Every structure is written in C-alpha cells, then in structure tokens.
Amino acid sequence: MDERVRFEQLYEAHGATVRRFVHRRLPASLADDVVAEVFVSAWRRLADAPAQELPWLLGIARGMIANARRGEARRAALHQRAQGESAVRSQAGPEQQALDSDALLRAFASLSEPDQELLRLVAWDGLDRGAAAQVLAISPTVFSVRLHRARRRLARALTLTDEQQLRSRPQSSTEVSP
C-alpha cells in the first residue's frame, strides 16, 4: 500500500480521537498545534507504526503534550521573570536604567565573539540548548558547558564594569572621602 494512502487511512480512522485526547489535556490555543505535531511525527515514523495504531498515536500525543506543557511553563516563568525585572527597573530612575543598560552592553562587548554568539542564541534568539547546539554543530552537553562559562564571564565583566562606574562616579558633597 502507498504510504500516502496508508497515512490518510490512519488519519481518517484516528484523527478525531487523537484531537479529543489532546483537547481534553491542553488549552485550545496549544491543542491544535500539538495534534498537528502528532500527525507529522506519525508520518515520519509511519514505517514503525504497529498493528494497533491508536495506542501508538496516543503515546506520541502524550509525549507532545508533555513537551507543550514544559514549553508553556518555561514561557510563563520567563514572562513572570520579565515582569519582575521591569518592576525593579521601573523603581529605578531613568539614569540608573541607562547606566545598567550601558554597563551590560559594555560587559557584553568585552566578551569574545564565541561567548557573545552563545549568549545571543539563548537570550536574543530564544533557542533552547538543544536547538542552539544544533546551530553551532556541537553536542548539547558541550553547548551547556560553554554557555555556563560564557555566563560566568559576562557576570565577571559586568561586576568589573560596575566597579569601574563606581570608581569613576564623582562623589557628592554629602559623601565623605576616606
């Protein structure tokens, strides 16, 4: 039997059941994408499909649902962290916010290009470690180690930049010099 015909039969026989299974477990905003991912995965692994296809499809769906929940939890945590940072920044005056941004940019610029690229892939491009490792054609483990080191170097550079700012800032008349 032609693979395309077999897949169409698989979808016709089990598509609605898989859709209901996923929609009972996820919000509608995520469920349709997960259902699509389930059938993309099934298409790719059609040769591995057992005789009892529905349990196989629901097993794929369970994995996709777990991935979607983890992704949603990461997005929620990031959103919460961003709100916390913006609240802290809003309490600081505009001068302090500008100093913080300038210090971060200077610290980032002081890093090597490979360190900058690691941090950009995660922080600016929003890639997870596995995807970022793929971009760089290295293993996720190697990527994690390099990212950890790059973050340490950035923190160290930021601390040095902050210390330089404190030393170069003129003392106010109320401050007593040592």
Each domain of the chain, given as residue ranges in start order, spans: 3-73, 93-168
C-alpha dihedral (98, 100, 101, 102), degrees to nearest 10: 80
Distance from C-alpha of 137 to C-alpha of 143, rounded to nearest angstrom: 9
Residue 130 has what pLDDT? Answer: 86
In angstroms, rounded to a whole number, what is the distance separating the alpha carbons of residues 152 and 10? 50
Alpha-helical regions (H) of the chain:
3-23, 28-44, 53-91, 94-109, 113-119, 129-136, 140-168
Look at residue 10 in the predicted model and tell me its pLDDT.
94
Residue 143 — very low, low, confident or very high, per pLDDT cuts 50/70/90?
very high
> Distance (Å, rounded) from C-alpha 29 to C-alpha 46?
27
Q: Do 61 and 21 meet the contact criterion of CB atoms below 8 Å apart?
A: yes
CA distance 20 to 108: 48
Q: Pick the more confident residue, 124 or 55.
A: 55
What's the residue count for the chain?
178
Given a cut of 70, whether residue 147 has pLDDT beyond it is yes
Reported as a single tens digit per residue, the pLDDT across 82-132 is: 776 555 555 555 544 444 677 788 888 899 988 988 888 888 777 788 888
CATH architecture of 93-168: Orthogonal Bundle (1.10)
User: Higher-confidence residue: 170 or 163?
Assistant: 163
3-73 adopts what CATH topology?
Rna Polymerase Sigma Factor; Chain: A (1.10.1740)
What angle, rounded to 10 degrees, do the helices at 140-168 and 94-109 form? 130
Can you give the pLDDT at residue 149? 95
Q: What percent of the chain has pLDDT over 70?
A: 80
Residue 167 half-sphere exposure, CB side, CA atoms within 13 Å?
6
